[in-house]
Structure 1
Amino acid sequence: MTAYRNAFSLPGDRVNRRVTRFGLYGADGVLLPHAQIETTPWQAQPAPKAGPAHDSSRLFGPALFAGPVDKQFGFILLNALGRLPALAGLPPHTTLVYAAKPTARVPDYAILPPILRSLGVHNPVLVTENPLHFQELYTAPDLFGESLGGTGKPAFYDWIDSRWPAPHPPDPEQRLYVTRSGLGPKAGRFACEDHLERLLQAEGYQIFAPEAHPIEAQVRAFQAAGKLIFAESSALHLFALLRKPGQISAVIQRRPTLPAIMQAQMVDRQGQPTVAINAITELWWPPQRGDHLGLSVLDFAQLRVALQAAGLITGQGWSAPDGAAVAASLRAGLEPGQDVMTTEHRAEWLRAKREKKG
């Protein structure tokens, strides 16, 4: 692995809300290899040659460019781990340098250290939006994630398995439903997920809210279960890293189409791929801007058939919530005077918001 002495980084200008000119350069001002940023919310298109910034901070000692980082759990799993196997050939005190997209509000990157520590990575970590000058910088190929379309190289999965080893084969009698209900009514969700939880509990499923557990406990729970059902969420990105032969799994969609990255991950490891189930009959929106805040109404009869076909439930005693329960669930978390909107109504609402803002 090559050490680049006196290398430097530039945050670069903002081209648009998804693209900046961030780049890593050698002492000669030429772009370094393996420093690309190719994620859904952020891509880097650096100038091919540049000079260092006069006001850059200096980082002494060895450093590894570890990729981009964001506050989101799923983003970190997909974009901040793929270069870490290179640490095996570097000094133990090597600083991990992550690039952050400049934003108006400084994000909280608090989820990054627990993920790294759970993998046994205890190196110093630096997240930067500012120009840096490096005494000794290493770059490494990205072996997993969005830059590879959501897939991973065998060497990356070998590294993951060595860091998160499964103590036992999955138990075919152990069932896990990974819920979103613990996130509260203001999160993007299904209507009547509590009803779904009761049906699955009757089928022997443990209801598991991942955000209530440390990373290590999430990993152990996902490794131990023989049957897993997920409400569509970033927890599926973690399970996809761990999935083993003998596990049967499905994800219940809360959006009509799963992201391509998620679909690629679901089939990338050995064993039975995770089944995607689209049982959505209606999609509603709260009066909020976030595209992740959709509220889905499920066809419980269709859901039962799909879960039965996947070998995940018997379907005995299965029932659908009544219309009043669905209506109440859709409006949970709204402020007085607010109501949910159709997709068409929401598009008009967003357009009016933009026009008012100017």
Structure 2
Amino acid sequence: MSIAAAEDRDREEEEKAAPMPAIFPPPPELADLADLAGRDGFLFRGGLVDAWFIRRSDVLLVTFDNLGSIGEYDPPQPWLQGRAAKGGFSILGLMASRKDWYRNADTPRLIAALRDAGLFQGFRRVVFVGASMGGFAALAYSALVPGSVVLAFSPQSSLAPALVPFEKRYRYASRKWDWQSPDFLDAAAGAKSAAEVHLVYDPFVPEDAAHARRIDGPNVRHLRVGHMGHRAIRQIKSTGALQALIEGVARGTPDPLALARGLRARRQQPAWQKALLAEAERRGHLRLALAAARQLARSDPDSRFARRAARRLKAAMAGPPPMPAADDETLFITEPPPLRPFRGEMAILSQALVIPERKTDRPLACGVLDASGAWCPLSKGWIRARKSYPQPALGPREKIVDLPGTHLYAGHFRGHFGHFLVEATARLWALDHLDQPPDSILYLPYRGQVAAIERAIQDLAPFFRLLDIDLPVRTHGSVLRVERLIVPELGFGWGDRYAGSAAYRAFMQRRLNAAAAAEGSDLLYISRARLNAQRGGILGETVIEENLARLGYEIFHPERHPLEVQVARYKAARRIVALDGSALHLAAYVLPPGARVAMIKRRSRANVDDYLLQFRSFCGVDIDVIDVVRTDWVAEGATRSDYKSVGELDFDALFARLAASGYVPEEFRPDLPDPAGIRALLDQIQDKRGQPFRPLRQDEPEAQEDDGCRPA
């Protein structure tokens, strides 16, 4: 294959659903690094990190994987292999087998062994290269080869919370991997021994800019590429400037002016245009943003984005005149003392505007504006852990309905019980801290579906009664101007908020515990077997039911019982076995001290960390997570496991785990179906759903943390 063809298929920054065929044949494997002298190529297996070496010239690129490049090719290939070949550079690809930011003992051991074997001595210039995760590794481990050069795209300087408290994007990686051991912990320290450090990043990405500020010194050159985002390397590639940038640094002839000229092509990229307008709008330069949007629309009449942006910005500038300054105040509830990320904050606003999602605004935009038209940050809601609802903009002729009295802003109302608990109850804690009860609780209609949410409010009215809340609960599809609006912070929700604020936990636990006395078996299995067939679950949940019933477990179907009965059962239980689901979120509020919970994953993709954090924070319980999913069965056309998929469990492994953890006796012998029985269970599900299912392959993508080197 030609170098040009290799470059065309060198997808180091692009996403693929499955590994692509290898481009370059692997070099001969080397068993002992003591034998590398005189070799022009080798592949050395180094445990968690493999070394792929090809000699082409006296310039060596040492490349590190990023989250997107691991598993990109089958068999694995070094990141930037095609670009190294095109430039005629030697390459040492340090290929990771897991997404651990190279925080393992094998990485420094391997680089040191290669150094001690003399690999780096024959090169005029050694350049460590990486992006994001790989950028961290390039900076940190360049210290093992003093005098080397580093080219890092959007790197993290560390994920150690003590060093970078501002970094919240990779919380899973920060918890999962070793960010305590001091060796190579801080890339900012490792960079000091490099001859040159070239940092490429977007200064308008706050986290990337903060990392870059930590990596500084006389040997550091900052190459700022504004409005290109954390995925800056992808946009540089799309402008055609990436190869020249790499070659300039590799040869020792970097040319920032040439890079700037090459990046002018980014002005034609919609992603860059959107980022530019968003930054101008964030800074309050609406007139400038409107002029830019109009110019974009003129230069590209087919750009729907530019036309929509111009209309929205024009409407925002022509909105209603600001009202007189309101008598607003902010309160902080310090008893019980709040812990991060909570502050116990509550805003009280006069003449505030409560704005639901509308078709005239950006998709999903909603929240609260104060009387002057300024955004109230406390009203921000979250679609998921890392995606919030956009700020709304009021149009010039929008209907505004005045609502007299005092009202509590409660965010979005979701009809799904799990989402209701996580999102719709998150601001109710404020009711314990008001001198007078509000006239009503105001919810935004999810997706603007007023009628559907009104029905859901009626369906969930028993839960408000269970919390001893005797107030009108309402939603509204138009903009409301509220005489006096109370906006509490979210006391519960996605990400770190699953711990619940102290005020929220006190509110929910006190009221739910008062709603019902403990009643029921101390052995409880919470079943999903009788839920609607369209809901996700597992094949043969009745197998678990029947076997646990033999051991005295009460088989409990929560949807068949009033909420107070559900609370009573969870309060009485000392051992709970359940599939992951909404019922466990409710149980966490009232579980007694010393109780134990075994949570069986029903699909490969499950928010295990959310359950762990909630149970640990609310009731001091470390739940036992049992992952014995053998296959995820999904409907034809589905590309990942989700709330409708069906898990096939390894029942032998399940009961072995339950026995090992003390939920069933070790001598217990369960009655389990054979393969034909499992197939019959699958046929039943397909008949109920009226559609065929297929097994999800292990190499199909799942939602993972993204470091930006591939599209999300």
Q: Does the alignment reach a TM-score above 0.5?
A: yes
**Does 1:215 pair with 2:563?**
yes
The secondary structure found in structure 1 opposite 2:679 is helix
Q: Is the 8 A contact 2:512 2:589 kept in 1?
A: no
The secondary structure found in structure 2 opposite 1:195 is helix
Find the partner of 2:372 among 24, 28, 31.
28
The structure with the largest helix share of the pair is 2
**Does 1:272 pair with 2:651?**
no
**Does 1:242 pair with 2:602?**
no
Deviation at 1:40, TM superposition (A): 1.9
The secondary structure found in structure 2 opposite 1:268 is helix
The secondary structure found in structure 2 opposite 1:30 is coil
Q: Is the 8 A contact 1:185 1:332 kept in 2?
A: no
Aligned to 2:684: 332
**Does 1:63 pair with 2:400?**
no
Show the 5 A alignment for 1:1-358.
Answer: 1=331, 3-12=348-357, 20-40=364-384, 43-46=388-391, 54-88=398-432, 89-102=434-447, 106-107=451-452, 108-109=455-456, 110-146=458-494, 148-165=496-513, 174-259=522-607, 260-287=609-636, 291-315=642-666, 316-335=668-687, 338-343=691-696
Q: Is the 8 A contact 1:63 1:96 kept in 2?
A: yes
Q: 1:103 to 1:127 in 2, by over 3 A?
A: closer
Q: Is the 8 A contact 1:39 1:147 kept in 2?
A: no
CA distance in 1, matches of 2:376, 2:396: 14
The secondary structure found in structure 2 opposite 1:20 is coil
Q: Is the 8 A contact 2:519 2:568 kept in 1?
A: no
CA distance in 2, matches of 1:81, 1:90: 20
The secondary structure found in structure 2 opposite 1:142 is coil
2:534 corresponds to which letter in structure 1?
K
The secondary structure found in structure 2 opposite 1:163 is helix
Q: Which segment drifts farther, 329-338 or 88-97?
A: 329-338
Deviation at 1:90, TM superposition (A): 4.6
2:569 corresponds to which letter in structure 1?
A
Deviation at 1:55, TM superposition (A): 0.9
Q: 1:158 to 1:199 in 2, by over 3 A?
A: same
Q: Note the alpha carbon deviations across 1:284-325, whole angstroms, 9 max, x for none.
A: 124486931111111112111211232211151223212222
1:272 corresponds to which letter in structure 2?
V
CA distance in 1, matches of 2:551, 2:507: 35
The secondary structure found in structure 2 opposite 1:39 is strand
CA distance in 1, matches of 2:678, 2:450: 36
CA distance in 2, matches of 1:63, 1:322: 59
Deviation at 1:212, TM superposition (A): 0.6
Q: 1:122 to 1:52 in 2, by over 3 A?
A: farther
1:70 corresponds to which letter in structure 2?
R
- Extract unaligned runs of 5+ from structure 2: 1-330, 332-346, 701-712
Which one has more relative contact order, counting CA pairs under 8 Å at least 6 apart? 1
Q: Which segment drifts farther, 257-266 or 294-303?
A: 257-266
Q: Is the 8 A contact 1:232 1:252 kept in 2?
A: yes
The secondary structure found in structure 2 opposite 1:220 is helix
Q: Is the 8 A contact 2:517 2:568 kept in 1?
A: no
1:191 corresponds to which letter in structure 2?
L
Deviation at 1:72, TM superposition (A): 0.6
The secondary structure found in structure 1 opposite 2:571 is helix
Q: Is the 8 A contact 1:281 1:296 kept in 2?
A: yes
Q: Note the alpha carbon deviations across 1:58-117, whole angstroms, 9 max, x for none.
A: 222110101211111001100111211211315335210111232579534144322211
Q: 1:9 to 1:184 in 2, by over 3 A?
A: closer
Deviation at 1:230, TM superposition (A): 0.9
Aligned to 1:355: none
1:267 corresponds to which letter in structure 2?
R
Q: Is the 8 A contact 1:8 1:27 kept in 2?
A: yes
Q: 1:272 to 1:177 in 2, by over 3 A?
A: same
Superposed CA RMSD in Å reads 3.1
2:660 corresponds to which letter in structure 1?
A
1:28 corresponds to which letter in structure 2?
S
Q: Is the 8 A contact 2:573 2:591 kept in 1?
A: no
Q: Is the 8 A contact 1:244 1:271 kept in 2?
A: no
Q: Which segment drifts farther, 60-69 or 88-97?
A: 88-97
Aligned to 1:351: none
Q: Is the 8 A contact 1:243 1:271 kept in 2?
A: no
The secondary structure found in structure 1 opposite 2:686 is coil
Q: Which segment drifts farther, 160-169 or 114-123?
A: 160-169
CA distance in 2, matches of 1:293, 1:325: 22
2:590 corresponds to which letter in structure 1?
L
Deviation at 1:13, TM superposition (A): 5.6
Q: Is the 8 A contact 1:192 1:329 kept in 2?
A: yes
Q: Is the 8 A contact 1:231 1:251 kept in 2?
A: yes
1:317 corresponds to which letter in structure 2?
R
The secondary structure found in structure 2 opposite 1:267 is helix
Q: 1:44 to 1:338 in 2, by over 3 A?
A: closer
Q: 1:50 to 1:15 in 2, by over 3 A?
A: closer
Q: Note the alpha carbon deviations across 1:314-357, whole angstroms, 9 max, x for none.
A: 15122321222211211214349843212259x8xxxxxxxxxx
Q: 1:270 to 1:333 in 2, by over 3 A?
A: closer
Q: Is the 8 A contact 2:631 2:696 kept in 1?
A: no
Deviation at 1:53, TM superposition (A): 5.9
CA distance in 1, matches of 2:449, 2:511: 36
Q: Is the 8 A contact 1:186 1:333 kept in 2?
A: no
Q: Is the 8 A contact 2:378 2:488 kept in 1?
A: yes
Q: Is the 8 A contact 1:4 1:136 kept in 2?
A: yes
The secondary structure found in structure 2 opposite 1:31 is coil
The secondary structure found in structure 2 opposite 1:6 is strand
2:463 corresponds to which letter in structure 1?
I
Deviation at 1:50, TM superposition (A): 5.1
Q: 1:275 to 1:96 in 2, by over 3 A?
A: same
CA distance in 2, matches of 1:140, 1:211: 31
